[in-house]
Structure 1
Amino acid sequence: MFLRNETFESFIKSYKVVTSLVIIHIFFYIWIYWFPFLGGEEIYWLGIGNNPLVASGDFWRLVTPIFLHGGLTHMLFNSFSLVLFGPALETMLGRLKFITAYLATGILANIAFYFLGSPHVIHLGASGAIFGLFGIYVYMVLLRKDLINRMNSQLIMTIVAIGVIMTFLNPGVNILAHLFGLIAGAAIAPLFLNGVSIYSQRRPVHDSDEVSFDPNRWAKRNHFKKNLIFYVVGGFAGMVLFFYLVSAFLL
């Protein structure tokens, strides 16, 4: 589910929502940090999460922080996490359900921060929505085992555990956004996974003349290779999440 073997072109063709979200991340990063004199600075202050301004009527600030980031490293690690963990869910849920779930969990995380967070802290970043995706995966691992195999279950639970631990170890991370994004994802998962079957997960995502994404490849390899690949991918994903959270703390 999380090992990408597509070409750049086939990835864009197969995962249009994930690709669009990454493009939005890059677009706003370039506009805000490279061209502040062309309205980038205004966009930053108009879009950043700010509880007193939300209370005064700037309700769009519950949505816009999902697309903004605190710098290049912050943007890259959020985007890479989305590229790594988003495609399988976009394939399973379909584009409309996926983008709705992504935005809903991000907004719910920001609402939680509005009610429980400090009024003196401004916030931004897609991590609440990304933890929302993790929440959907956690629900699958616990209650929809038909949608995810054992290896991927172990991988996602390891990543979630690392993410939660690092959230508490780094005080600069938006703890509320991470935790409530995760909770929101698990809470809405039954609604969004209703009617999703294992067939939806396994349908091809490439043209017939391209190398297709086959989640059953694990069953086609011997035990040693299967475990080796699992640990390599798991370790790499863990490192990505670790450095992402560290970068969020530093920023």
Structure 2
Amino acid sequence: MFVRTESFKQFLKLYPVVSTLIAIHILIFLMMHIPIFPHNWILELLAGVNLYIQQGEYWRLITPIFVHVAFAHLLFNSFSLVLFGPALEKALGKFMFIIVYVASGIGANIATLYIHPPYYTHIGASGAIFGLFGVYLAVLVFKKDAMPLQGRQVILPIAIISVVMTFFQSGVNITGHIFGLISGFLIGRILLHFRSIRF
């Protein structure tokens, strides 16, 4: 379930949404690091800055999900998407997967807006990715049989470790991680009420 055996071409064909999200991550990262583009301009336009959101720049509740400055940050989040995104994209369908991913990221960013001070700035897909963990956890809690045993044995410890590690890493938006997870869990609960999800 979380082991990738597809070729690159097969992965692109089977999981177009996950592939597109990663491509957007990489494209924005490259734009920020290629000299022909003004690095600071892109970051200033897309980063989640609480003060600017309060002043009406509401796109900043979405755009930070796709922005990474450090290569390690980009690599970790994109790798997490490769591992944990495909099963959900297949189970939910392309459109619903996009809704879950973006809504979880927005939930994380709204919490960040209200909990952190006005000049707090945040970027990264972590809140949205934690939202995917939240959906998996909702399935575990409310419809355990919908997920194979192997998947259950993997996702629960991974989610727990990820939450614990959040509190031991410097420069991490703890609020974004936790509320991304909560948002995904709530969304997953609602989805399970209205439709069948099976992996």
TM-score class, shorter: over 0.9
The aligned residue for residue 31 of structure 1 is 31
**Does structure 1 conserve the Cα–Cα contact (< 8 Å) formed by 2:142 and 2:189?**
no
Match of 1:160 in 2: 159
Residues 96-130 of structure 1: CA distance to partner in whole angstroms, max 9, x if unpaired?
A: 00001000000010000000113232110000000
**2:8 corresponds to:** 8
CA contact (8 A) 2:108 2:127 kept: yes
1:168 Cα shift? 1.1
Matched, 1:179 2:178: yes
* Residue 196 (structure 2) aligns with: 196
> Deviations for 1:40-82, whole angstroms, at most 9, x for unmatched residues?
4312111001001111111111110000012111111100100
Q: Normalising to structure 1: TM-score of the pair? A: 0.76
**What is the CA distance between 1:33 and its match in structure 2?**
1.5
**What are the superposed Cα offsets for residues 112-158 of structure 1, whole Å, 9 maximum, x if unpaired?**
00001132321100000000000000111111112212221121110
Take 1:102 and 1:197, find their aligned partners in 2: how far apart are those partners? 16
Task: Sort the Cα spacing of 1:57 and 1:197 in 2 relative to 1 into closer, same or farther, 3 A.
Answer: closer
Matches within 5 A, 1:25-174: 25-35=25-35, 37-174=36-173
Aligned residues of 1:101 and 1:192 also touching (Cα < 8 A): no
Kindly provide the CA deviation profile for residues 206-229 of structure 1, in whole angstroms up to 9, marking residues without a partner as x: xxxxxxxxxxxxxxxxxxxxxxxx
Q: Does the 8 Å contact 2:32/2:69 carry over to 1?
A: no
Computing the radius of gyration from Cα coordinates, the structure with the larger value is 1
> In angstroms, what is the RMSD of aligned CA positions?
1.3
Flag structure 1 segments of 5+ consecutive residues without an equivalent: 202-251
State the match for 1:213 in structure 2.
none
Distance 2:15 2:181 in 1: 22
Q: Distance in 1 between matches of 2:191 and 2:27?
A: 29
CA contact (8 A) 1:93 1:192 kept: no
Q: Distance in 2 between matches of 1:18 and 1:141?
A: 22
| TM-score when normalising by structure 2 | 0.95
Gaps of 5+ in 2: none
**2: CA distance between counterparts of 1:5 and 1:191?**
31
Q: Secondary structure at the match of 2:167?
A: helix
What is the count of residue pairs matched by the alignment? 198
Asked if the contact 1:15/1:91 (under 8 Å) is kept, the reply is: yes
Percent of pairs with identical residues: 46
Structure 1: 4+ residue segments shifted above 4 A: none
| Structure 2 counterpart of 1:22, one-letter code | I
- 3-state SS of paired residue (1:38): coil
Which amino acid is the alignment partner of residue 189 of structure 2? P
Per-residue deviation, residues 20-40 of structure 1 (Å, max 9, x unmatched)? 0000000000001123x4244
